[in-house]
Amino acid sequence: MLDTSLPHQAKRIDPATGVREIAEFFGPEEPRTFGFTHLPSSRPVGGVVICSPLYAEFNRNYRREVLIARQLASLGVAVQRFHYRGHGNSQGGIHDATFDTMLDDALAAAQRLVDSAGVNNLAFFGTRFGGLVAASAATRFGKAPLVLWDPVLNHSQYLRDIYRAYRIQALKEGARSSESAEGMEEHLRRDGELDILGYTITRSLYEGVQDRSLDKEVGLSPRPLLVIRFGRDPRLERGISELVLRWQMAGFDVNHLSIGRQEAWWFTSGALVIQEALTEPVDLTVDWLMKTFDQRTELL
Amino acid sequence: MIENTIRQFITDELNNDGSRENLTDDYPLLERNVLDSLGLFQLVGFLESEFGVEVQDEELIPQHFGTIGDIARLVEVKRA
């Protein structure tokens, strides 16, 4: 018989670092968000909310997000990871997931971190599409520092990357795909969903981001900002360089780095097994966040 | 020469194990797995930045990416 008296949380304490990891569902009402809280053994010096990417990119980045959370927690920073509703282990249907629900999830995750860790000085970290969510959430927390990995600049660039991945996979497999990018977009509008390499892209999410861009979500209220680009994609390089310049002119303290190796966000090649690709962005991000928290603590 | 520029990118940037000499203009890149999915993705980005062309998604077919010669012809047509 199913034991329904199970606790709502699962906890683990790392014997080496004393870091507590708590897995649970949270949020004001169902469907609830699933997440992990990483709590340091001592009073936290700050908190970081991690906003994951979506689809294949979510899987691609998962281990790095775990490593970042554990490293930060071992250094005294509380961290909240979570799955967007309709994705991963969270409740909810994929067709109900929109940019607004993703932002609500990020804000609920931030509140969960404030409640469980007792921190008020938060930073936000987002990868690819998660960068849009993290940027938007950060604007609700004053001058909260923001970390962006290979951020999506706008919905059309993101969809183009996804379509291109689909076409390239078909090319590699020798398949003839006759559907154009415009045809696939029409397919998405008509049918409400689109299968790309086994992932369901939904109209609800697509239509909800048409007016959104990284430029708008970050805004012009200066905050510490770390942007890490994976590789030298010329299209991303041009776009992000223009944005970085604009942020600098608006008074942002921007650290813009390239780690030289393009990430195979949509492909299952062996690139991620290279240790450098796994740890380099993690180490850079942890170092920057620790310095940023130290500076902010000195100012208080 | 477009072919040499593409050849150099494949050997220098895409971790290709073969020598540049073996990578002739008609060497089958896809059949012999010289280009994996990520390599193709990077190569398309390189063509766009290096030669100032825009590769349409519909052009991502074996006839255009089967060999270095095929790729060079695609670039030449788009630049004409």
Domain-wise residue ranges, chain A: 9-154+212-299
Residue A175 pLDDT greater than 70, yes or no: no
H helices of chain A, in order, are 55-74, 99-117, 129-138, 155-172, 181-191, 203-208, 214-218, 234-249, 275-299
H helices of A139-202, in order, are 155-172, 181-191
Residue B53 pLDDT greater than 70, yes or no: yes
Q: Coil, helix or strand for A15?
A: coil
Task: Supply the pTM of this predicted model.
Answer: 0.87
Strand order in the sheet with A33-39: A9-13, A20-26, A33-39, A77-83, A46-51, A122-127, A146-149, A224-229, A253-258
Pick the closest to residue A213 from A129, A146, A147, A137 (CA basis).
Answer: A129
Pick the closest to residue A52 from A192, A200, A159, A152 (CA basis).
Answer: A152
Closest CA–CA distance from residue B36 to any residue of chain A (Å): 7
Residues 6+ apart with CB under 8 A from B14: B34, B35, B39, B42, B43
Q: Residue A233: its chain B contacts at CB < 8 A?
A: 45
Mutate to test the interface with A, among B33, B46, B60, B71 (most CBs of A within 10 A): B60
Half-sphere exposure of A193 toward its Cβ, with a 13 Å CA cutoff?
A: 10
Residue A3 pLDDT greater than 60, yes or no: no
Work out the mean pLDDT of chain A and round it to a whole number.
Answer: 88
Q: Residue B61: its chain A contacts at CB < 8 A?
A: 171, 176
* Res. A173 pLDDT band, cuts 50 70 90: confident
Residues 6+ apart with CB under 8 A from A129: A53, A54, A57, A152, A158
Closest CA–CA distance from residue A293 to any residue of chain B (Å): 36
Which of A22-31, A106-115, A205-214 has maximum average pLDDT?
A106-115
Closest chain B residue by Cα to residue A262: B42
Residues 6+ apart with CB under 8 A from A77: A40, A44, A45, A46, A47, A48, A289, A290, A293
DSSP characters over A21-78: EEEEEESSSSSPEEEEEEE-SS--SEEEEEE---HHHHHHHHHHHHHHHHHHHHTTEE
Q: Among partner residues B45, B57, B61, which is closest to A180 by beta-carbon distance? A: B57
Residue-range domain boundaries for chain B: 2-79
Helix (H) / strand (E) containing B68:
helix B68-79
Least confident of A6-15, A103-112, A121-130, B14-23: B14-23
Least confident of A124-138, A173-187, A222-236, A269-283: A269-283
Query: What's the length of chain B?
Result: 80
Q: Among partner residues B38, B57, B60, which is closest to A271 by beta-carbon distance? A: B38
Closest chain A residue by Cα to residue B59: A167
Which one of 3.40.50.1480, 3.40.50.300, 3.90.280.10, 3.40.50.1820 gives the CATH number of domain A9-154+212-299?
3.40.50.1820
Q: Among partner residues A171, A234, A267, which is closest to B38 by beta-carbon distance? A: A267
- Look at residue A176 in the predicted model and tell me its pLDDT: 64
Interval A132-150: pLDDT, tens: 999 999 999 999 999 999 9
Interval A78-102: pLDDT, tens: 999 999 999 999 999 999 999 999 9
Interval A210-231: pLDDT, tens: 889 999 999 989 999 999 998 7
Closest CA–CA distance from residue B65 to any residue of chain A (Å): 8
Residue B18 pLDDT greater than 80, yes or no: no
Residue A195 pLDDT greater than 90, yes or no: no
Q: CB under 8 Å, gap of 24 or more: what pairs does A92-96 form?
A: A92/A31, A94/A200, A94/A202, A95/A192, A95/A193, A95/A202, A95/A203, A95/A204, A96/A31, A96/A204
Q: Residue B29: its chain A contacts at CB < 8 A?
A: none
Q: What is the CATH number assigned to the segment(s) B2-79?
A: 1.10.1200.10
Q: Residue A176: its chain B contacts at CB < 8 A?
A: 61
* Res. A259 pLDDT band, cuts 50 70 90: confident
